[in-house]
Amino acid sequence: MTIQQALPLQNIKVVELSHMVMGPATGVILADLGAEVIKVEPLKGDNTRRLKGSGAGYFPMYNRNKRSLCLDLKSEGGLQVVKDLIAQADVVIENFRPGALQSMGLDYATLSQSHPGLIYCSLKGFLSGPYEHRTALDEVAQMMGGLAYMTGLPDRPMRAGSSVIDITGAMFGVIGILAALEERHHTGKGKEITSALYETTAFMVGQHMAQCAVTGEAPPPMSIRRSAWGVYDIFETADDDKVFVAVVSDTQWRLFCEAFDLQEFASDVSLAANSGRFEQRDRIIPAISAVFSQLSKADLMAKLDTTGLPYAPINRPQDLFDDPQLNADGLLHVTLPDGAQVKLPALPIEMGGNKFGLRYNPPVEASETRSTLHAAGFSDADIDQLVADGVLRDEP
């Protein structure tokens, strides 16, 4: 992987007060882009580190390229450390419950009085409005926002197979931060930014809201939808595997018929346009399925690849570890806090032909305490006293 040498956010300092997915995902995007991100954790470490089941991947995935600092925010000494760090920072990220940081003086209104250039990003369940007091989770937002309905069967809403709202909400948070940084170049002043799960879900489902407005019909779940294209399906192969195949233009249809020797369809003018293929799906799909059922998965994909048609194997997450495309440049070799080695996806961006890589592994709890605080102007004596007072966890 060719790594960016001069990183675009390398002079930006971030204090991250967050856990789970949405806040840390915001932080890791900024960190991958070069920002110095200090992750402030409780004395015992972020509880996300200890999650099991589907949460076991949260910490490893969303906390690389950060520094860990473990302290007691409820103590006067620990709170002052955080305030001193924020005084030198460009950005604060937080995903505490509404109002939780205000009592500590860590809200934007308080901090901006002495630090008018501060950019403060809150990751919440809801933006301002009747619901803003509520607690939300990714799955709550997916249910409320119509995404679970559109993902599942008509009588069985189903969440998407990833924390898509947490992650997308984090991306909107980063967009807001970058916009505020650009505005600060002109005004010298920072800004408070809020990104929220529910409104993020509504934005993602907006295409279906627009569909409803345009057609006058309620959109059915994607699991039973009528595709806009004549061929846009999952097909069985001879070796009992599956491949998704799409034909989304009239030029692709001609190439498709030629590649698979579908002469009857190629010569039929009623199928030349997508509208005709859409109306005759009951005729063409069984015939295509019969052709594909005689080919192995590898042979079918090889032919589709040669013709330039859209296709995809039906992969599982574990299949991606061996994916040639990702292994060429898109996976980072990460060492986890327990010493385990794993390959995880890099930030999916190239700039100037370069990608963004790994500078620091996901941190062991408090592992950079002294170097982080030294850089902020704390002496060893200051650090020793904070450790002795029980408000700061020293390096392991």
Only one residue has tokens 């009992």, namely: 240
User: What number of other Cβ atoms are within 10 A of residue 81's Cβ?
Assistant: 23
- Report the relative pairing of strands 13-17 and 36-41 from DSSP bridges: parallel
**C-alpha distances in angstroms, 158 versus 8, 137, 142, 209?**
39, 15, 9, 19
Catalytic residue among 46, 84, 166, 241: 166
Q: How far is CA 213 from CA 199, 218, 228, in A?
A: 19, 9, 17
The number of angstroms, rounded, from the C-alpha of 225 to the middle of its chain's C-alpha atoms is 26
Residue 166 bears catalytic tag: yes
Q: Strand, coil or helix: what is 357?
A: coil
The pairing of beta strand 231-236 with beta strand 191-196: unpaired
- List C-alpha distances in Å: 201 to 6, 42, 105, 147, 215: 35, 30, 31, 7, 22
Half-sphere exposure of residue 381: CA atoms within 13 angstroms, side-chain side: 0
Neighbours of 152 (CB within 10 A): 17
Write out the DSSP string of 5-18: SS-TTTT-EEEEE-
How many Å apart are CA 280 and CA 270, to the nearest integer?
A: 9
The pairing of strands 354-355 and 350-351 is antiparallel
Tell me 238's DSSP state: T
Only one residue has tokens 């007072």, namely: 389
CA distance 103 to 384: 27
As annotated, the active-site residues are 166
